[in-house]
Structure 1
Amino acid sequence: MKLPALHIPRQFFPVLHMSSLPQILREKLAATPAGRLPFAQVMELALYHPEHGYYGAGPRKIGRQGDFFTSVSVGPLFGKLLAMRALQEWQALGEPADFTIIEQGAHDGQLAEDVLNALGGHPLRYLIVEPNPKYREVQAKRLGDRVQWVESLAALKSGPKHAFFLCNELPDAFPVHLVRWNGERWEELFVEADGTAALRFIPGECSCAELIDEIRHLPHDLETGHTLELNLAMLTWIRALAQAAFRGTIFIADYGLDAEEFHDGSRAAGTIRRYHQHQMDGHVLEDLGECDLTHQTLDETSAAMSLEKASS
């Protein structure tokens, strides 16, 4: 859970450096026929550009020295609880020799270290799914030979056969499409540069067939202007996870609501937010690359239905 601190006026924040990400984004916008991009592409660039993305450039500090707190950054208790749960799973499966704890989105390896320390001498393997070599390097310095790595979920198709899969606040950092109800139909929100080079949202027709398919399941009785995040990347991730060979538990720690709560009018402005130096606000098109972007509420109903469908 990300916890915003007390409000501090932004003018008191020191400017340490300027990212070239805005220039990269302006060039991408100029290269498109319509001069605009789906918000999902902008969010992906802002978070995961290999040099200038908020996460893509390497692990960020989390906690008091960073932009937000998580359940991992405040102490080892979360890791201890997960270790206990993994041990229970291992024992329930008959203590198979190949039982593996699999973590994705391990960041700097702190949670893995907490879990491994809590396991003590129990012979459980630990595997991290990590495509970014910058993260693997940081994790290896912390964890040494206590863990192994694979670059993608595709590597899990061949094993292990028994596992406890975990991730902490991962899906909320997946790029999302934004859609808005105009009183008659759902429209996608795109990003374009205005005359002053600032960025703004503009509605348009949906950018892909999968988004159109997901929109068919959305309600049509909401107030005009109601905005939602559709996490197509999460659905793709769930399908990949369902193809893994292991038998066991999938533990996803994140914040979410069921479909009825997710569509409630109290969230009509959407839940996409930015975090910077323990400030949370809705100015998600400002300071791209310098702040975290997250959608505060996952649609748990959609996620559960997708996992069930992909596993059948």
Structure 2
Amino acid sequence: MFYLYSYLGSFRIFSKNVFERRPIFPFQKNEIDRIQIGRKGHETILKKNKGIWFVQVREIETRPDLEKTFSFLNTILRIKRFTKISPTTDPKKFGFNGEELKLEIQTESGEIGKLDIGISENGTFVKEPNTGEIWIVEENLNSLLGRGNENFFFSRFLLSENIDIQEIHTILIYNSQNKNTTLKIEQTKNGIWKPLSSASFFCPGEDCSRIVHKIFSLKAEKVLKKPFEEKIIPLNFKKHFKVEIHFRSDQNSFLVLEWIGNTIHDEPVFRSDSDSILYVVDPEFLREFRETSENKNFFIEESDPI
């Protein structure tokens, strides 16, 4: 009988440990439809619409950084209870002082999971709202959340990572200073980009792939969102740099990437697919176009302070 009780006691401890080491959220990655994270009134929402992810901060909705989004999603689905904190310990010691981050995930079927994340240095303390239990977890959650930076999940790519490159027919690069000098690039075959204009000095050997790669890999140094706190100096009407991307399926619909001004530090500011989001890019992007061109005034005058 003693051995039976010992066995049953060990089994209960084993079962309890197994339960506690299971992931807190019993969902699969493909089931997740919506994630909300942040302090009250300062939430960031990651949501999926027809298989495409978007990020929303208050009224601003834009493209997310997919690498950060999927890394965060994979991590929160792996979170397991590691060590339980004594219920007699003051929660404030672990970052639960009213400023903790509230995490809520929702599946396509409407199931909801919630977790509070303490504002400790590394974010390894979590609290289950339903029970009030505080646990240590192995994941460094604060680093995956940008430590409360509302812009953290915004994509810094000026063009969407979801664009089907093979569907692009032509790319136009031009400026208002010289309408007769427009670089027109056509995708003749998948991945083969040829110049269709006289400005072929940008495409050595009739190969424009370097320019195309440069445009699609362009990432902002920082992202600005409305209301814009940083002053933006509009361009002189004589200065203009714009990229138009036309698709095979609909020639009347195209994407526009446009240089619209500079910061007070002479950093170029670009607009892409939304007036609510602007992108501050490295001045080297425009400078390389100027230095590549045989005509030094093609994109930017030599006196431009970039």
- TM-score (structure 2 length as normaliser): 0.27
More strand by share: 2
More helix by share: 1
